[in-house]
Structure 1
Amino acid sequence: MYCEYQQFVKVYQWGDADLLMHAINVCQQSIENSADIYSIKELILKIDIIIPHMDDYGSESGSYALNASASVYETLEFIVDKDKIHIYNIAAYYTDTVDFKIQEDKELSAFEIDSNPHMIEARNFIINQINGNV
């Protein structure tokens, strides 16, 4: 999803792909090392500023960028408070992105979306991550 955000920044000249990548790296590092909660709280505030609002960027690209950056925001929040609602939100952003991608060419029914191999793969990935890491 990061690449979608990066493309959004390039097209709209808004946001900060480098900051988002830094936050992703902090998330990765927190898996193996203890996290500096104060620094992460400061980073959360910075990430919040670079999440595009759909009122301003209502395009598919804006939706993808919102989902990517909001997922990182939620991950940072989870690192701080361990509230599993953040995991649910991340999963929703991820499946929404897959849903949008599946329907880029034509609108599908809920059954067609749920039966699509990409959506099945996305949901299996989420289930495997939750079962293995949370």
Structure 2
Amino acid sequence: MCPERGETFWLILPSVSKRFSQALHELAAFLGLGPSEPFILVLDRAGWHTSAKVAVPEGIHLVFQPAYSPELQPAERLWSVTDEVLANQHFETIDDLVDALEERCRTLREQQAAISSRTLYYRLGCWKQDRI
């Protein structure tokens, strides 16, 4: 996500540790990254982010925040608004839950001003303007 413009990129995956490399490759393809198009991705130090098994595609450079510093990660402010449609709800199946979450992500993607207002507490240079 880009706090400055409120742009988001969402992927819903069935697990995290083995799927993080897939997410990086999807992001690289989505943004058209490669050796001549570098991109810095700032991450926390979750085990699946720092694993030696992570395959980082060309063009993406991972920069890790200090340990135990969620206040430095603007994306942390999005979990409450992402989860609010799921809280206190009963879903008959996992597919129903995923459908609700996908719809929420689509809705949030259109709410760039709201995303920016929650996450832009310091300025970042991110995402080329013509990317999304």
Q: Which bracket does the TM-score occupy, shorter chain normalised?
A: under 0.3
- TM-score, normalising length: structure 1: 0.24
Larger relative strand fraction:
2
**Which structure exhibits the higher relative contact order, with contacts defined as CA atoms closer than 8 Å and separated by 6 or more residues?**
2
- TM-score, normalising length: structure 2: 0.25
